[in-house]
Structure 1
């Protein structure tokens, strides 16, 4: 079993486990517990970035030797190209689906996830400050873009079929809300909410989330969510 996939609880690395399950890959799974909020030493010892995900391919068909990768997008690209026969990544021969895929695939971590991180970093700040106001406006713009696109396709971001663009963006739309309890409007974001329900019913997604977070974990797909336990202030 050449592949080892490292996941840290409640983190973006859930994407990689989900991708592996969608592709039907054989892999060894390693779970890393936060210490207490940030990445533990076990992850820092694996990769200079010191966080999850991390992929180890002990005998890479690409190099003939061991490959260690960080970064969600890089790992997705590698797994799809090297072990997934190109599945879940449209190419130019797929026409407009390809261009939609490219944009949403890079939007996920290039624009969308950073907006959530800015919100998290400004928690407790004056809500009328220009930074907070502009960041919340950007989030609203992004959610509207996603909702409009899903209204167009009635299915997934690139088109009728699931792609790695959906796998990349879903963490921000779901689990990330355990750190920042963003609410969705049941009317304004109805296509987004329908999309989250549709994705949550995929067997590979269900299996991946149980692997990553345990049998009792409920994906955050509703209009309203609560902070995850590690973000709650202890009660006296």
Structure 2
């Protein structure tokens, strides 16, 4: 399907920023952040194709053809959720409520979400897809590779990463501290990937703080509004 408006009443308005959002993607966290800050914005929805790829229309917004893309009020497109969340918070969190309580920790966690968890989930997803789409009888080879990668690398890395996040949360409700911040927005997508695709066993038992943090996000009214405005958020469909 091509790009479509979220709803007739949500037709683009002049003078507002615009979020170009792809179904079942990291862009869902950007809707959450905008809703939390009560930003008035245009939302343009894109549906994945039968191969779960982004439609070509997204390339009209940015040459990479990926989501999210946030277009500012002066027409500047911003890509990558780290840059987008930083811009949104700097521009619209006028009271500084969600500013970094510890800027060094904030930088560490933001980098960890993108540079450690991001590639790790990409590797695991690649082998997931290989086992689903490799034709018979080569699929048995793909499954063997996947088990080997999990046994020697990804499973242990996931567990180590989640143990790190447990410690970073400590007694706080949010990675940022008393209030959620950019690190929480960045961490949302890779953690959801791990939970939705069940890449680690007994998550709720072994990582209760991360589990409670994720549940806390999903229970927020702004998150629920974002889910209603979006067009699907199921990271296990691929």
Q: Please give the TM-score of this superposition, normalised by the length of structure 2.
A: 0.78
Q: Following TM superposition, by how much is the alpha carbon of 1:9 offset from its aligned partner in structure 2, in angstroms?
A: 0.4
Pairing of 1:1-236 with structure 2 (within 5 A): 1-36=15-50, 37-59=52-74, 66-85=75-94, 86-90=96-100, 94=101, 97-123=102-128, 124=131, 125-126=143-144, 127-129=146-148, 133-150=152-169, 152-174=170-192, 177-178=195-196, 180-182=197-199, 183-213=201-231, 227-228=236-237, 231=238
Cα deviation per residue 1:69-109 (whole Å; 9 max; x = unaligned)? 1111111111222333355232xxx4xx2222221122111
More helix by share: 2
Contact 2:48 2:55 in 1 (8 A): yes
**Cα deviation digits, residues 184-203 of structure 1 (max 9, x gap):** 43321111111112222211
Unaligned residue ranges in structure 2 (runs of 5+): 1-14, 132-142
Cα gap change, 1:130 to 1:201, in 2 (>3 Å): closer
Q: CA RMSD in A?
A: 2.2
* CA contact 1:11–1:175 (8 Å) conserved in 2: no
- The answer on whether the counterparts of 2:165 and 2:210 sit within 8 Å (CA) in structure 1 is yes
Is the CA contact 1:19–1:167 (under 8 Å) kept in the aligned structure 2?
yes
- Aligned-partner Cα distance in 2 for 1:54–1:161: 25
In the superposition, relative to structure 1, how do residues 81 and 2 fare at CA in structure 2: closer, same or farther (>3 Å)? same
- 5+ residue gaps, structure 1, are 60-65, 221-226, 232-236
130 and 32 in structure 1: CA distance in 2 versus 1, 3 angstrom threshold: closer
4+ residue runs over 4 A deviation = 175-178
Offset of residue 32 of structure 1: 0.2
Q: How many residues align?
A: 207
Q: What TM-score does the superposition give when structure 1 sets the normalisation length?
A: 0.79
